[in-house]
Amino acid sequence: MKIAIMGAMPEEVAPILESLDDVVEVNYAKNKYFKAKYKDIDVVVAYSKIGKVFSTLTASTMLQMFACDMLLFTGVAGAVNSKLQIGDLVVASKLAQHDLDITIFGHPHGYVPEGSVYVESDRDLTALSKIVASEMGIDVKEGIIATGDQFIASEERKGFIAETFKADALEMEGASVAVVCDALGVPFFILRSISDSADMDAGFNFEEFVESSAKVSAKFLMKMIDKLAGA
Ligand code: 3QA
């Protein structure tokens, strides 16, 4: 087993890298990939940079160049569901691209021919996350994540995403990573901890909470990797 562990920003993968041994940096396609061992398993860690294009490139590289056979994403997100508070964890049940729009031709938002509005996550990894959550005695919400190349800081845009996609959280990489994994038949898991509520205060809250929420997500992901390593 070789596990890809991805984030978008340095803050999102830093806590992961701290937990690994024998880290070797490899440069490829203008990005850094960290090959390492955790217990008995091989892992490759990278942050893609922000957005759907960079995350597509990184996910594809992780699977095709580094031959990873599972992909786990850790990071932060804006809350859409008003029950979600800063620091809460969300596991994607399925993901959609909220900014993909050829609706003028009668297609639904997020859809292009031969694609699908939603990409569904791996059931086994989702089930594993529930076990880990109950062992840790914490609540992890399973919900829909909407992805787009926009930092959302408006009630209006958030409302559109909530209504159109029934989304619980939003971010800028999950759905593109999901499309890559789905196309290549590799199980994936997208985990996010809330850093803001995609509203007027989002910029301010994001800056204040990105680091602490990124740590919450990374810590949970490491517990999942413990299970995958059979510990
Ligand atoms: C956006 C990061 C991108 O990788 C998506 C954070 C948290 N809140 C969000 C929101 N809308 C969309 N996405 C998110 N991530 C941060 S750009 C600022 C970078 O500053 C999830 C996310 N409301 C770097 C320093 O200049």
Q: Which range marks the domain in which residue 186 is found?
A: 2-218
Does residue 9 line the site of ligand 1, with CB under 6 A? yes
- Identify which of 47, 152, 171 to mutate to test ligand 1's pocket (most ligand atoms within 8 A of the CB): 171
Q: Check whether 88 has a pLDDT greater than 90.
A: yes
CB distance 178 to 92 below 8 Å: yes
Of ligand 1's listed atoms, the one at least distance from the Cα of 78 is 8
In this structure, is residue 227 part of a structural domain?
Answer: no
* Active-site residue flag, 211: no
Q: Are 175 and 147 in contact (CB under 8 A)?
A: yes
Does residue 228 sit within a domain?
A: no
From 102, 95, 99, select the one nearest 117 (Cα to Cα): 95
Q: Is 151 in the pocket of ligand 1 (CB under 6 A)?
A: yes
Two tokens, residue 187:
């199980």
| Ligand 1 atom with minimal separation from the 202 CA | 23
Q: 3-state DSSP call for residue 72?
A: strand
Q: What's 208's domain CATH number?
A: 3.40.50.1580
pLDDT at 160: 98
Does residue 231 fall inside a structural domain? no
Count of domains observed in the chain = 1
Does residue 120 carry a catalytic annotation?
no
Question: Would 62 be classed as within a structural domain?
Answer: yes
Confidence of residue 21 (pLDDT cuts 50, 70, 90): confident
C-alpha distances (whole Å) from 88 to each of 77, 115, 209, 230 are: 10, 31, 12, 26
Q: What is the mean pLDDT of the chain?
A: 98
Does the beta carbon of 167 sit less than 6 angstroms from any atom of ligand 1?
A: no
